[in-house]
A = this chain, B = another copy of it.
């Protein structure tokens, strides 16, 4: 949140946001579409992770809504690979919110089944505060960011259902203390799945894709609204 003086304004916005997020989730669940909110710092490797996951989700349809302040670099790249991708530009706003996602979801034909990935703005703070209708919050963290990130940015780690620890190919060249990192993660979050991945070595994506496929198979079979 930007300022303590705005707490009341923010509370109203969060209530309204959650209400709309609930409806987005309800619609996607009805269509048996798993919605994944992809969060992480700038440059953590969110788009690369999506490219690598989607390749391994064959059989399951997948598409991507890309959130960016400006530019459509990632959307163009995904499209060039034959992935269905749609762009939301926030022009200044530091996170996606449920109304933005609802407008997009209502204006495109997602069909039924499969996975909708929504790549949030690169920001380890604000996106964690806003539900956008997701079933799964995926946090992409890179080993180059350092092992102290769960201690410094706790909310994102606390809320994640799935943590992708990315760029493991760079481990020999950086100071990253995996034990300290995981201790920080587990102090905040006992349950999140953690996958170690690398866009270079392609480590870890088969396992992460398998877990997402399993989550996708559950959507619409009862109540799976993210709380």
A167 at the interface (CB under 8 A from B): yes
**Complex alpha-carbon distance, A151 and B77, angstroms:** 14
A42 near B124 with CB under 8 A, answer yes
Identify the closest chain B residue to A77 (Cβ).
Answer: B148
**Complex alpha-carbon distance, A213 and B123, angstroms:** 32
A3 near B43 with CB under 8 A, answer no
Residues of chain B lying within 8 A (CB to CB) of residue A126: 2, 94, 123, 125-126
Residues of chain B lying within 8 A (CB to CB) of residue A194: none
The digit string for A8-46, where 1 denotes a CB below 8 A from any CB of B, is 011001000000000000000000000000000111000
Counting every copy of the chain, the complex holds 2
Q: Which of B70, B124, B146 contacts A123 (CB 8 A)?
A: B124
Residues of chain B lying within 8 A (CB to CB) of residue A204: none
A189 at the interface (CB under 8 A from B): no
15 A-B pairs besides A2-B95, A123-B124 with CB distance below 8 A are A1-B92, A2-B2, A2-B93, A3-B93, A3-B97, A5-B13, A6-B13, A42-B153, A69-B153, A69-B154, A70-B154, A71-B148, A73-B151, A122-B153, A144-B170
**Complex alpha-carbon distance, A97 and B4, angstroms:** 11
Instruction: Show 20 residue pairs from A and B whose CB-CB distance is below 8 angstroms, ordered by the A residue.
Output: A1-B92, A2-B10, A2-B13, A2-B93, A3-B13, A5-B13, A42-B124, A42-B153, A43-B142, A43-B146, A69-B152, A69-B155, A71-B151, A73-B152, A94-B125, A122-B152, A123-B123, A123-B124, A142-B144, A169-B173
**Complex alpha-carbon distance, A23 and B184, angstroms:** 39
